[in-house]
Chain A
Amino acid sequence: MTSLIIGLGVILILYIFYLIFRVSNLVSIAKGRKTDRVDESNGVHAILFVVFMVISLGVFFWYSYTFFDDYTLPIASEHAVKTDSVFWITMAVTVIAFSIISIVMFIFVYKYQYKEGNRAKFYPDNHYLELTWTIIPAIVLAILIFTGLRAWNEITSPASKEAEVIEVVAQQFAWTARYPGIKDNELGKYNFKLIDPINEFGLDLSDKNSFDDFKSLELHLPKGKEVLLKIRAKDVIHSVFLPHFRVKMDAVPGMPTQFKFVATKTTQEMRDEIGNQNFNYELACTEICGRGHFSMKMPVFVHEEEEYEQWKKTQEAWLKQNPDYLKKVPAALQEAAMIKAGLQEDPGNTVAENEVK
C-alpha cells in the first residue's frame, strides 16, 4: 500500500513537472521568439562556470590539505620513499598545470561569453604558440619519465644473493607463505601436479631442500633486510598488494613472479607512529579472482631481525606436521628428511645447537 502511494506520488510530481514545462513552453511561444542568437540564460552559464571553478578548486585544495593523513598511507619500505617522491613530484607538476589550465579556461568561458554586436577574433593558428606548448610539456614529461625510470630500474633490479627468500602462494581465496627453513635456507622444488588437499604447495619431496620448508598463514618479515617475495598462483591470477610497502605484483598460474623490497618499520614501530596499537600490516589481493576476491587477506608482521630469526626457529617444518608424506621421500634421503624436518635429532648437530643456546 505504502509503495503504491509513493508510486502515485512520484507520478504526480513528475506530471506537475511536465505541466510546468508545457506551460512555460506555451508562454514562451505566446511571447514570441526573440531573434537573438542566444538564450537569455547565456550569461548565467558563464557565471555558473566560474562559480563551479572557484568552489570545486577550493574544495579540492581544502580536502586535500585537511584530510591528508586519511588518504595517504605511511611508508614502511625503502623503495616506497622513492616511488612516493616520484608520486609527489608528479602531483606538484600536474596540480600546477591543472589549476592554471582550469582557471584560464573557465575565465575565458566567462570573459568571452556572447555579447550582442561583438565579433570573435579570427585567429586560426600561431605556430610559435603551438610549438611552445608542444615543447614545454615534452620537457616536463622528459623530466618525469627520467625520475620515474630511475626509481623503476632500482626497484626491479635483481635481488642480492643474501636476500631473504619467501614464497607467497595464492589460491581462491587465501594466501599461504612458504619459508625456506632454517636448516638449508633454500626453497624446495614444487610441481603443481603434486598438489593435493594436504600438500598445498605441491612440494616435491624428492628434493632435499623441501624437507625443512615450513608453511605460514601469516607473512613475517625482517626489518632492514632485503626480502625477495617469490610469487605464484595455483588457480587464477591474483595480485600481491602490500599497501604500506608500495609492493604490488601479480601472482600468475604457470609463471612465477617476484618482488624485492626492504621493510623499514616493524609492526610495533608503525603502531607507535600512527598511534594505533591494534594496527597490523596487511596483504590484499588486487586482481579480480572470483567470489571471495574482497576477502583475500593475509596478516603481515615485521620484526627486528633477531626477533624474526627467533620466530623462524619456532616454526615446524611442513614435513614434521605431515609425517605421512615421509613415504614420498626417496629411500636414500629418508634419514636426511627426518633430521631436516626436525622429526629426529641430528646427532652431529647437538653440539652446535647447544652453542647457540
Chain B
Amino acid sequence: MATTDIHTHLDVHHHDDHSHDHEHHEGNFWTKYIFSEDHKVIGKQFLFTGIFWALIGGTLSVIFRLQLGFPDANLDWLRPILGEWITGEGKLDPEFYLALVTMHGTIMVFFVLTAGLSGTFSNFLIPLQIGARDMASGFMNMLSYWFFFLASVIMFISFFLETGPAGGGWTIYPPLSALPQAIKGSGTGMTMWLVSMALFIVSQLLGGINYITTVINLRTQGMSFTRMPLTIWSFFFTAIIGLLSFPVLFAAALLLIFDRSFGTSFYLSDIYIGGEALPHTGGSPILFQHLFWFLGHPEVYIVLLPALGISSEIIATNSRKPIFGYKAMIGSMLFIAILSFIVWAHHMFVTGMNPFLGSIFMLLTLIIAVPSAVKIFNYVTTLWKGNIRFTPAMLFSIGLVSFFLTGGITGIFLGNSAIDIQLHDTYFVVAHFHLVMGSASFFGMLAGIYHWFPKMFGRMMDNRLGAIHFWLTFVGVYLVFFPMHYIGIAGFPRRYYSWTNFDTFNGFFDLNMLVSIAAIATLAAQFIFLFNFFYSIFRGRLASTNPWYSNTLEWTTPRVPGHGNWAGPIPSVYRWPYDYSKPGAKDDYIPQHIPYSETPESNLPHENELIKLETSGEQGAIIVEGKH
C-alpha cells in the first residue's frame, strides 16, 4: 500500500510523480462498493448508514412525541408496526416508551452524530483536503466501517426482541440496566446493546487511529499544520478525543457485562428487588456514572467539533472572507478538547457525589463557555463585511451557529451546580443538549452533505429544495426545542410517559402539543432532503470541479475523483486555505495550490518572502511523500 518514497523535487508547482498513479484500481462490484478500501466509498457507506439510522431515530422520537403531545390519542393504527407494544386500550406501553427514548438517544448520539457525521466527513475529507491518495491504512478503515455495520445490525435486531430493546435510558445507569427484573429492556435487549456498543467502540478506535495517523503523516508538500483547513483540525481533535475516551466507555460496559452475567459487584450493592435481597455488596452505581461520563462528556464534543469545523469552512467560503481568527479557532478547539475531559461530573451534581467535587467541576465546566464564546464571536465577525451567498450549506451553517448560541447559553445554567439542583433531569436539560449538541451537529452534518455533495457524486443538489428543507427544519427545530425551556423551568421531569399523575406538572398541554406537531413536521421536512439527495445522485445537474469557488484541495480533483484522488501528481500547497477576497487579487479566491509567485498583485509583504522558498528553497529538498 502506501510506500515512502524519498526523491528530489524539481517541479516548482507539483510533485514529481509516477505515471502508474494514473492506473485505476477497478476491481469488481464487491471490492469497489462493498468491501472497499477507498476512503471516499467508506465515507459514503458511513453516510448512507447514518441517514438510515437518522430516519429510524427520528421516527422513534415522533412515536414518543405522539404520546407526550396527544396523551389521549388512540394509537391502534400503529399496531401493524408495533404489535403488542400498543396496549389493549390503544396506548403506548410505558416500558416501550422508555425503550423508544433509550434507543432514540443511543442511535442519534452514536450511530448518527458520531458515525454518520465524523465517520462520513473524516473519511471523505481528510485525504482530499490534506492532499493524500487515501487513508494511512485502507484496510483498517474498511474494518472500521464493517465493525460499525455489525454494531448496527445487532442494535437493529434488538428492536425485534419480545422483551424489547434496551430501556434504561441511553446513559444505561445500573442497577436499572443490570437487573432484568427491574425493567424488561434490561434482559436480552441490554445484552445486545452492550455487544453492539462494544463493536461500535472498536469501529471508532480503528477509524480514529487512521484519522490521526493520516493527518500527521500524509499531508502533501507544503501542507503544514498551520495551513490545514479547520475541518481537518476539527476531525483531528475529534479523533484524539475519541481515542482517549471511548476505551473508558468500553471498560464501563465490560464491567457492566460482568455484573450482569458473571455475578460480580462493580456497580451493585444493597439491592432488594423482586422479593429478594441480592447477594451483591460493595459495588457503587456512582462508579459507573463516573466512567460513563468520562466518555459521555467528551462525546458531546466528538459530536460537535466536526460540525463546527465543517461550518467554519462553509461560512468562510460563502462569506467570501477568511475565517476570522484562524489560530484562535484552532486554539479554542484545542482548549475545548482538553477541558472536555475534566468536566464530566457536572452531569452528577445531585447524585450524592461529594459537594466539594461539585464545586470544582462547576468551575471547570463554566470555563468551557469562554472558548465557545470565542468561536461564536469569530463566526459573527467572519460574516461581518462579507459577501454572503446563501447556498443550502451556508444556510445550515448559519442555523448551526444560531443553535450553538441558543443551546450553549443554557449550558451556563446547567453547569452552575446551584441552579442545576432544580433543572437537573428536567426538560430544560432536554432543550439544552438537543439544541447545542443534537441540532447543531445535525445541521453541521446537513451543511456538510450539501457542500460536499458535488465532490461525492459529481452532481449538484437542488438549491431550492435545499432552501425549503432548511427553513422548515430551522423553524421546526426551534419550535420543538425552545418551548421545552419553559416546560423545564416549570420542573417537568424528562423520561416521563405522562405528567398527569402530578398536579405540579399538570399543564402545558398546549406547548407539548405544539412540540409534537413541530416534531412531526420537522421529520416530514427531512423527506424533501431525502428526495433531493437521492434524485440528485442520479439526475442532478452535473457539477463543475469547483462549484463553490473554494480554496481547499479537494476542489482540485476531477469532478468524480477516482481511486487515488488526483489523476496526476498531488498538488503542492503554498498558502493557507482562507485567501478569500484578498486585496488586489484577480478573483475573490486563491486556492491553496496557487503559489505566491503567481499572485504578486495580492501578496502581503511577508508572503513575498515566501516566494524564494517556493522557487529556490524546495529545489533539491528531500520530500517524503506517501503514495501508492
**Bound CA span A122–B578, Å:** 10
In the bound complex, do residue A109 and residue B383 qualify as a contact, i.e. CB atoms below 8 Å apart?
yes
**B residues whose Cβ falls under 8 Å from a Cβ of A:** 94-95, 98, 168-169, 173, 175-176, 179, 182-183, 268-273, 275, 277, 281, 283-286, 319-328, 350-352, 355, 358-359, 362-363, 366-367, 369-370, 373-374, 376-381, 383-390, 395, 398, 401-402, 405-406, 409-410, 412-413, 416-419, 421-422, 424-426, 462-465, 467, 471, 474-475, 478, 482, 486-487, 489-491, 493-499, 501-505, 507-508, 531, 549, 578, 580-583, 588
Docked Cα-Cα span, A42 to B467, in Å, equals 10
The answer to whether A11 has its CB under 8 Å from any CB of chain B is no
In addition to A286-B426, A287-B425, 12 A-B residue pairs with Cβ atoms within 8 Å of each other are A73-B504, A87-B422, A134-B373, A145-B366, A236-B179, A237-B176, A252-B352, A253-B268, A254-B281, A255-B352, A287-B173, A288-B168
Contact of B366 among A64, A102, A141, A278 (CB under 8 A): A141
Distance in Å from the Cβ of A239 to the closest Cβ of chain B?
Answer: 7
A residues within 8 A CB of B183?
Answer: 290-291
B422 touches A138 (CB 8 A): no
The answer on a CB contact under 8 Å between A254 and B268 is yes
CB of B409 within 8 A of CB of A237, answer no
**B168 engages A83 (CB within 8 Å):** no
Name A133's contact: one of B377, B390, B501 (CB within 8 Å): B377
Determine if A94 and B413 form an interchain contact, defined as CB atoms under 8 angstroms apart: yes
Decide if A112 touches B319 in the complex (CB within 8 Å).
Answer: yes
Contact A284:B179 (CB < 8 A) given known A122-B580, A192-B270, A234-B273 = no
CA–CA, A39 and B592, complex, Å = 26
Contact A148 B578 (CB under 8 A): no
Which residues in window 292-307 of A have CB below 8 A to B?
292-295, 297
Q: Which of A70, A101, A114, A257 contacts B507 (CB 8 A)?
A: A70
Verify A98–B588 contact, CB threshold 8 A: no
Cβ–Cβ contact B496 & A148, under 8 A: no
Which of A46-54, A309-317, A334-342 interfaces with chain B? Answer: A46-54
Least CB distance, A197 to chain B, in whole angstroms: 7
| Residues in A neighbouring B489, C-beta threshold 8 A | 71-72
Interface on A for B, CB 8 Å cutoff?
18, 21, 24-25, 37-39, 41-42, 45-46, 48-49, 52, 56, 60, 63-64, 67, 70-73, 82-83, 86-87, 90-91, 93-94, 97-98, 101-102, 104-105, 108-109, 112-115, 118-126, 129-130, 133-134, 137-138, 141, 144-145, 147-149, 151-153, 155-156, 171-172, 192-193, 195, 197, 202, 231, 234-237, 239, 241, 243-244, 246-250, 252-257, 278-280, 282, 284-295, 297
Using CB atoms, name the residue of chain A closest to B483. Answer: A63
Contact of B425 among A49, A64, A90, A286 (CB under 8 A): A286
B285 and A253 contact, CB distance less than 8 A: yes
Known contacts A73-B504, A148-B417, A235-B271; A255/B322 CB under 8 A: no
A133 partner residues in chain B, CB cutoff 8 A? 373-374, 377
- Give the CA-CA distance A62 to B188 in the complex, in Å: 49
Say whether B471 contacts A141, CB under 8 Å.
no
User: Is A49 in contact with B387, judged by CB distance below 8 angstroms?
Assistant: no
Give the chain A neighbours of B281 by CB distance below 8 A. 254
Closest to B486 in A: A71
Whether A255 lies near B319 (C-beta < 8 A) is: no
Task: State how many angstroms separate the Cβ of A255 from the closest Cβ of chain B.
Answer: 6
| Closest 6 pairs (CB-CB, A-B) | A254-B269, A156-B355, A257-B352, A121-B385, A45-B390, A243-B491
